[in-house]
């Protein structure tokens, strides 16, 4: 394969095509230019990023259109993604100032202690297809502010969005050698990740790929590795009188972006007493959700999944859950032949003893009924992942127990599992990350601290342990 071709999932139309890039050439270009960028004053790099935000603001509608067409997500959602790309700049400036600022520390004998931060050098960024602008941008902006050069490889499923994003950086004045675009598939991703010329890798994607990267970097402690992976996220409904609102929060958690969010609720854990009335509310609302192409009128709630291969795999996974003993409440229906539209599906897995601990990256919600709250919390933790968890309840004491007992990087109360803020740290534990949260804390892995004990003049003496002269 000599080129990458991107097709619109909703229509099958070709959107973009381009040649596969040269990994060695991109790394060499980045290595040649990063030190000049790093030597620029911080204020210069920040001002360049502010110009980038203005460029994106000027091109916002065209940018949203590319994202919507290439991912299949509704245009309204693509517009919110562009807004987060713009907002990331101010958030990253504040984060750098707070978490990577220069500081003077107390030191003895008239000397001074200085804390400063240095960029790593050349950082590779591997982006996902579900948020093809927002998520890589969340790595790239803080990396550039810190003084790194970046080689960005977008998902092979969303290269057009990657091209558009990089053009915005360059239009803002980021030197071409400091923001490189590598078009390619898994082979190019592996080659970039394993290249001796990079100083670190910032990854967003599946746990399987993240674990493979973790193994590959095990013998490279000199390189920074930040992993942002998926989740088998629980949403627990317990002791709440407003079941309509609970149903809305469950649906927003499970089916926004066609379930293609790492923070999407994969498992609904519900009090047995609330099960039937809650499911009645959920199924009524789900039946009304509009699933259509990005620019449809009336506006859709969700679009297709990314491609037919993913739709086929999700269909097979739903059948596999049924074969294990799951009881389908809403089947996974494919309403348009040869297109990856999937209607939201729900399956009761309560009586399945060996429930699979996997991330089904699509509109499939598994339901588990429990009879006591401790069992519900235990079921919420019954996963190797640990990204997001949410409790829907009117009882503060239950939330206190849920927060204390739930193993996840994001723990919400009466809010969806998704929709995390970029002004807070974002990341998980277990198979969801390697304790390097992104978003506001991305500054932590884009530069490393250097501590200096300094004095204007050298003064030293040995006051003990010497023979008489």
Catalogue the active-site residues.
228, 262
Closest CA to 231 of 81, 420, 74: 420
Strand partners, 235: 268, 390
Question: 123 and 201 in contact (C-beta within 8 Å)?
Answer: yes
C-beta pairs of 59-68 under 8 Å, 24+ apart in sequence = 59/164, 59/168, 60/86, 62/164, 63/133, 63/164, 63/168, 66/15, 66/160, 66/161, 66/164, 67/132, 67/133, 67/161, 68/294, 68/295, 68/303
How far is 167 from 259, CA to CA, in rounded Å?
Answer: 29
Residue 463 backbone dihedrals phi, psi, to 5 degrees: -100, 5
Question: 351 and 321 in contact (C-beta within 8 Å)?
Answer: no
Hey, CA dihedral for 160, 165, 170, 174, is it positive or negative?
A: negative
Closest CA to 169 of 85, 266, 228: 85
**Residues ≥6 apart with Cβ < 8 Å to 387:** 229, 230, 231, 233, 262, 263, 408, 409, 410, 427, 428, 432, 433
- Length of the chain counted residue by residue: 469
How far is 379 from 373, CA to CA, in rounded Å?
Answer: 10
Closest CA to 235 of 252, 217, 250: 250
How far is 262 from 386, CA to CA, in rounded Å?
Answer: 11
DSSP codes, 69-118: HHH---HHHHHHHHHHHHHHHHHHHHHHHHHS--EEE--STT-EEEEEEE
From residue 224, alpha-carbon distances to 140, 221, 371 in Å are 15, 7, 45
Give SS3 for 237: strand
């Amino acid at each position: 394969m000599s080129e990458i071709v991107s097709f619109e999932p909703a229509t099958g139309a070709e959107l973009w095509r381009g040649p596969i890039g040269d990994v060695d050439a991109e790394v060499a270009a980045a290595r040649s230019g990063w030190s000049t960028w790093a030597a620029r004053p911080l204020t210069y790099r920040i001002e360049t990023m502010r110009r980038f935000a203005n460029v994106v603001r000027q091109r916002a509608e065209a940018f949203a259109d590319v994202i919507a067409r290439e991912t299949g997500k509704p245009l309204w959602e693509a517009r919110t993604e562009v807004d987060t790309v713009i907002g990331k700049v101010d958030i990253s400036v504040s984060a750098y100032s707070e978490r990577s600022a220069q500081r003077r520390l107390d030191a003895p004998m008239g000397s001074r202690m200085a804390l400063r931060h240095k960029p790593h050098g050349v950082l590779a960024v591997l982006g996902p297809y579900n948020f093809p602008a927002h998520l890589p941008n969340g790595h790239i902006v803080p990396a550039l502010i810190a003084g790194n050069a970046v080689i960005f490889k977008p998902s092979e499923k969303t290269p057009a969005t990657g091209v558009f994003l990089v053009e915005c950086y360059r239009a803002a004045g980021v030197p071409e050698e400091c923001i490189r675009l590598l078009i390619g598939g898994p082979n190019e991703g592996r080659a970039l990740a394993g290249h001796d010329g990079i100083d670190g890798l910032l990854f967003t994607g599946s746990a399987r790929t993240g674990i493979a990267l973790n193994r590959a970097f095990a013998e490279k402690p000199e390189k920074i590795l930040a992993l942002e992976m998926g989740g088998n996220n629980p949403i627990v409904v317990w002791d709440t009188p407003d079941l309509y609102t609970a149903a809305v929060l469950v649906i927003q958690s499970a089916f926004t972006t066609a379930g293609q969010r790492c923070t999407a609720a994969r498992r609904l854990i519900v009090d047995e007493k609330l099960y039937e009335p809650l499911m009645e509310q959920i199924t009524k609302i789900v039946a009304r959700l509009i699933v259509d192409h990005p620019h449809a009128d009336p506006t859709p709630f969700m679009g297709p999944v990314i491609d037919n291969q993913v739709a086929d795999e999700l269909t097979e996974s739903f059948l596999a859950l049924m074969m294990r003993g799951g009881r389908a409440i809403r089947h996974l229906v494919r309403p348009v032949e040869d297109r990856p539209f999937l209607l939201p599906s729900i399956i009761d897995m309560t009586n399945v003893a060996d429930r699979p601990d996997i991330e089904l990256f699509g509109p499939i919600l598994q339901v588990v009924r429990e009879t006591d709250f401790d069992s519900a919390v235990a079921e919420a933790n019954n996963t190797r992942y640990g990204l997001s968890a949410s409790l829907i309840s009117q009882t503060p004491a239950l939330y206190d127990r849920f927060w204390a007992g739930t193993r996840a990087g994001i723990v919400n109360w009466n809010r969806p599992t998704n929709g995390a803020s970029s002004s807070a740290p974002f990341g998980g534990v277990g198979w969801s990350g390697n304790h390097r949260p992104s978003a506001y804390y991305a500054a932590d892995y884009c530069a490393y601290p250097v501590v200096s004990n300094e004095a204007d003049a050298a003064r030293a003496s040995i006051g003990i342990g010497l023979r008489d002269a």
